[in-house]
Chains A and B, each alone.
Chain A
Amino acid sequence: MATLDSKIPKGPIADKWTNHKNKINLVNPANKRLIDVIVVGTGLAGGSAAATLAELGYNVKAFCFQDSPRRAHSIAAQGGINAAKNYQGDGDSTYRLFYDTVKGGDYRSREANVYRLAEVSANIIDQCVAQGVPFARDYGGLLDNRSFGGVLVSRTFYAKGQTGQQLLLGAYSAMNRQIGRGKIKMYNRHEMLDVVIVDGKARGIIARNLVTGEIERHSAHAVVLGTGGYGNVFFLSTNAMGSNVTAAWKAHKKGAYFANPCYTQIHPTCIPVSGDHQSKLTLMSESLRNDGRIWVPKKMEDVKAIREGKLRPTQIAEEDRDYYLERRYPAFGNLVPRDVASRAAKERCDAGFGVNATGEAVYLDFASAIQRYGKEQATVKGLDVNDAALVKKLGQEVVKNKYGNLFQMYEKIVDENPYETPMMIYPAVHYTMGGIWVDYNLMTTVPGLYAIGEANFSDHGANRLGASALMQGLADGYFVLPYTIGDYLADDIRTGPISTESPEFVEAEKNVRDSIDKLINNNGTKSVDYFHKRLGKIMWNKCGMARNEQGLREAIEEISALRAEFWKDVRVPGEANEFNEELAKAGRVADFLELGELFAKDALQREESAGGHFREEYQTEEGEAQRRKEFQYVSAWEYKGEPKDAVLHKEDLVYENIEVKERSYK
């Protein structure tokens, strides 16, 4: 079996990145003008990379499928961004952030990458503040922090519940400056449909103009994918409707190994599914777990009464409530990592304690936080601490200040007032830790093809900690890729413009056209969504929060059969050469139908439980995830035609700076 070269620099972990930067090749400023770089995706990773590469002097072509780069789904990240600034003086450090991230990832991430991430995290905050990102501040005018799951310090910077939005708009503004200068050529409403490989190197892409339907060839000296994750393989997820795996999957088919596809994060605090019509799930930020307490009733008769509407949650006495996270994990309580919190919710609901009609919901209760804050405010203002109505009012004001937009969002969707009655939440697919395999330089197994942000696999292992996705996206785009890509491009200063007339471009375009024609002319009877929903059901039931061998084997068969049915019976209305949303969706779902099978195959071979991957066969007596030493590797899959034929390559994970321990949050 081939071994993967991760190109981790030698030397002590704290010096690796600095030494590496000192040694790699650079491209001189005059030569950067001669080099084109394509960046696909304009979220935090793609947007920040495009802006920074353009600042450095490269000619950047940036692509996004939305009508503006500002709409990439990074915008929906709510809670915050981690950085080892230690502004709170609570003992935070680069090492501690590194440690928390590796442990949080259940010892399945690459040590050197994570350390570098922790190292540059502080720069991100400086950079964003300089751009005018309005982070939350305290009354002294300094930056405020909050705490997130799986850690014991406050290192999360935030902008109310809209941190992702503010950071993305920061990157978008940096892009705008370069678009205005002509250094970035922006292609909105364009979807990448293939990578073009010339002489073994990524030299361009085939993209479809989503407005006119035109198929376009774009060449460059390197291609960067910042195309996000593939959570929509589950149909219902917190991803945007357009989020897709197509760019990453096409890269995979052109030789990029796909790593750890089965590592999916199921976020514990989402609004439960209300019915079959549902198109997506809405996340309630993890920051809510700073103040909200999660519980279900202790007594089955209470559960029944609640479901029948005979009892309100507020009527259940304190001693009849099971605050199961606080009970099981006293040290971290409601702030255990996401995988742990999600599984605990599933465990209670599977045991029959779910509190809504479908039995798939638990309470997230702010009553005690409202009391606590209310009393605090009453004391500060010198008012009567025993005036219950006043305390409640003051407390609600504090909670509104902190989470107002989230509470409003909940009320709009569920039509219940979360200030008065506990929220109902349930886990939902949120983030994919797996992705395209990359080395330390963020280059895939295809030379000249890079993957950054959620699209790659490297930093979060088997589980991502809250507020780390924003950190990783911006670290890759602002501070890592712009350096490492120079090392590769240094060899390209004499190459000159890449022609789009080469046979490779012609062939790639033809293949894209053929598959579009096939979809358009299929004349089936079922809509694209019909297949997507069925795929989602298979994935959720058999590759979801808990997996087992039999289920995974069934999933592989069922997805394969569904794929065949899709190609036989899907109906794509309209024409190829026009704005055609159904056509775009069909192409994406076709790729999900392949990825889904590889996903299940990966989950099947990983005979252990780790982070977001929970195999029922491998659990401790208390029902916790049981890691196995022999699976301490990255599974990187090579495309060989059908997903079932994919070949597994392993990158062994070595931990020299952190002791691999039983992951405990008790």
Chain B
Amino acid sequence: MNLTLKIWRQKNASDKGKMVDYKISDVSPDMSFLEMLDVLNTQLIESGDEPVAFDHDCREGICGMCSLYINGEAHGPDRGVTTCQLHMRKFKDGDTIYIEPFRAKAFPVIKDLVVDRSAFDRIQHAGGFISVNTSGNTQDANAIPINKENADKAFDAATCIGCGACVATCKNSSAMLYVSAKVSQFALLPQGQVEATDRVLNMVKQMDDEGFGNCTNTGACEVECPKGISLENIARMNTEFLKASLKG
């Protein structure tokens, strides 16, 4: 396949940045999207140009490091995948592909397509944990049975990979799906109850302080989420937050 790529190039955080056109040929449909970019970068390096910087690591859809807004969609046109799992067979010969960084005020660009998602970490520092010290004498793991339905729902929420697609795709750059996944996971488990009030209040406050927008329930996040995290989690967080606010 031969493709035209329109890629966002930005030297560093203070540079203004612009879209630049590249031509690439002999792309195999079996390549992953990132492998296609590898090929482009090898071309650029060997012709003396600077390669395009993009985040990636595990390349199997679980680390959450890769991002990219491809043809107007977070992680590109396929569903239930990260960019590293997106394959070129989803595109046609002669296509023009727009490649942009995940955009949000809370995700400043570091270079080209690389953004700083440390705001996500700071939200977790505010309360994304259960306060239990490590010791060899925590109670036995089977001491508290947890009904399967709640355990499964907690798991589904916990599969969030923290990639930021929800923020990138949201017209408001809202981080509610991300935050609600963690709040939900713990709200559904007995272990999480003790700190439930503080957790949701602190995490939401940090989320607001980071400059993410508000949720208007468009549902785009759920559609674009590579792990299919459900909107139900946002509803649950809303309830948890109101309960906590009335208590606090």
Contacts and interface: CB of A to CB of B under 8 A. Distances in A.
Looking at chain B's contact residues, the main secondary structure is loop
Contact of A573 (B28, B49, B116, B159): B49
B64 to A, nearest CB: 6
A174 B247 CA distance: 26
A356 interface: no
Q: List the 9 shortest-distance A-B pairs measured between CB atoms, nearest first.
A: A141-B145, A173-B129, A134-B155, A180-B125, A129-B141, A177-B129, A579-B111, A71-B63, A240-B58
B93 interface: no
A165 B159 contact: yes
A279 B83 CA distance: 14
Given A277-B35, A279-B34, A525 B46 contact: yes
Nearest to B88: A277
Contact of B118 (A67, A127, A578): A67
A68 B121 contact: yes
A138 B118 contact: no
Question: Interface extent on A, as a size class?
Answer: 35 or more
A76 B58 contact: yes
A179 interface: yes
9 contacts: A67-B65, A68-B162, A87-B142, A141-B146, A180-B125, A240-B57, A479-B136, A527-B45, A571-B46
Contact of B116 (A67, A169, A283, A525): A67
Given A52-B134, A176-B128, A240 B63 contact: yes
Given A139-B148, A174-B134, A529 B42 contact: yes
Interface string A541-581: 00000000000000000000000000000010110001101
B162 A70 contact: yes
Interface in B133-167: 133-136, 138-142, 145-148, 151-152, 154-155, 158-159, 161-162
B101 to A, nearest CB: 13
Nearest to B56: A241
B87 A412 contact: yes
Contacts of B42: 527, 529-530
Contacts of A176: 121, 124-125, 128-129
B56 A130 contact: no
A412 B85 contact: yes
Contacts of B142: 87, 142-143
A574 B42 CA distance: 14
Contact of B31 (A120, A135, A277, A571): A277
A336 B218 CA distance: 50
Interface string A59-94: 000000011111111011000000001010000000
A526 B45 CA distance: 8
Contact of A279 (B38, B130, B158, B159): B38
B220 interface: no
Interface string A468-482: 000000000011001
Nearest to B34: A279
A300 B45 CA distance: 45
Contacts of B45: 527, 571, 573, 582
Contacts of A275: 28, 30-31
A415 interface: yes
B97 interface: no
Contacts of B128: 173, 176
A73 B50 contact: no
Contacts of A529: 38, 42
Nearest to A182: B125
Given A130-B138, A277-B35, A571-B45, A579 B114 contact: yes
Interface in B161-209: 161-162, 185-186, 189, 191-192
A72 B120 CA distance: 16
Contacts of A85: 141
A554 B161 CA distance: 43
B4 to A, nearest CB: 19
Contact of A123 (B49, B87, B126, B138): B138
A137 B138 contact: no
Contacts of B235: none
A188 B127 CA distance: 19
Contacts of A211: 110, 116
A68 B129 CA distance: 16
Interface in B30-84: 30-32, 34-35, 38-39, 41-42, 44-46, 48-51, 53, 55-65, 78, 80-81
Nearest to B188: A134
B239 interface: no
Contacts of A67: 55, 65, 116-118
B131 A71 contact: no
Interface string A105-142: 00000000000000010010111111111111111111
Contacts of B31: 275, 277
B239 to A, nearest CB: 19
B57 A66 contact: yes
A448 to B, nearest CB: 22
Nearest to A279: B35
Given A479-B134, A579-B111, A579-B114, A143 B141 contact: yes
A146 B32 CA distance: 32
A529 to B, nearest CB: 6
A46 to B, nearest CB: 14
